[in-house]
Amino acid sequence: MPLARPFAQIDVFSAVPCAGNPVAVVLDGQGLDAAAMQRFARWTNLSETTFVLPPEDARADYRLRIFTPGGELPFAGHPTLGSCFAWLAAGGVPRQPGQVVQQCAQGLVSIRQSGQRLAFAAPPSQRREVPAATLAEVLPALGLAPAQPRRAQWLDNGPLWLGLQLDSADTVLALAPDHARLAALGCKVGVAGARGGAGSGALIARSNREARAFGAVAARADDALIEVRAFAAPIGVPEDPVTGSLNASLAQWLIEAGELPARYVASQGTALGRAGRVHVERDAQGQVWVGGDCVAVIGGQVRL
């Protein structure tokens, strides 16, 4: 017999409804098996649907399972923030004030509160070089010539992405991928390019001017240093509107490479008519935090 379960749909990486990336959150997933969770994720047809469960680790405040229409993920960024936002709004009280600890298949993830904004501690990202043969298959599916990417790297913080740094945001926004071909290759691709094609020095100088406002004001239309897109056809999501896990791995990679400053804002979703803003900060200990605004759009019950 289906049970009425509390439910919320949260728009993540935006303070304005319908401008970010929605996540469906079932706030009581107890008694549901993986098959039932997967059915509901296919039905919502969002990039991710999550299920909140009691923690199995005494250090965690709750446990989260994350599903795309095509399968379960060990970790994902925007579902982490959206689910935490929904859990807090539903009366969840963290063991440690100002910090929530989420348990997921990837491990424990810390989420901090700064005013109305949440930010997760990016899990360690494993990186390795991309074989030339792989690029020779993937780049034509994106409509890119072999010389166009400035850098390429496999990025893995649970989800595995082929990361590409392109020469400009204009190049990023002009991409028209062959999603069927990417799905056949089994390759999720994340691309990033600087706005105005600026080099890292210009980005860092601009970021220093804007850093005073970091975390204190909502994102403006022109505040982003880079444009990001995420193509995930192999898991049933041709293009994800705004992607926390990808932005986390891109930040760890490109900050370390000297291509991005320790604080910046990324824009994602422009090509889909969204206005997602991802706030990134690497703290003095080297931990990268990935944050954004959240707003509740739908609340009620689902019968599962």
pLDDT per position as a tens digit, 116-150: 799 999 999 999 999 999 999 999 999 999 999 99
pLDDT at 203: 53
pLDDT at 218: 35
pLDDT in tens, 199-223: 544 454 444 444 433 333 333 446 8
pLDDT at 196: 74
Q: Which CATH number fits domain 126-285: 3.10.310.10, 3.60.40.10, 3.30.43.10, 3.30.450.20?
A: 3.10.310.10
pLDDT at 223: 85
Nearest-10 crossing angle of helices 77-89, 244-256: 120
Round the average pLDDT of the chain to a whole number and report it: 92
Q: Which residues are catalytic?
A: 48
pLDDT at 215: 35
Q: Where in the chain is the domain with CATH 3.10.310.10?
A: 4-121+292-303, 126-285
The stretches in the chain having pLDDT less than 50 are 198, 200-202, 204-221
| CATH fold group of domain 4-121+292-303 | Diaminopimelate Epimerase; Chain A, domain 1 (3.10.310)
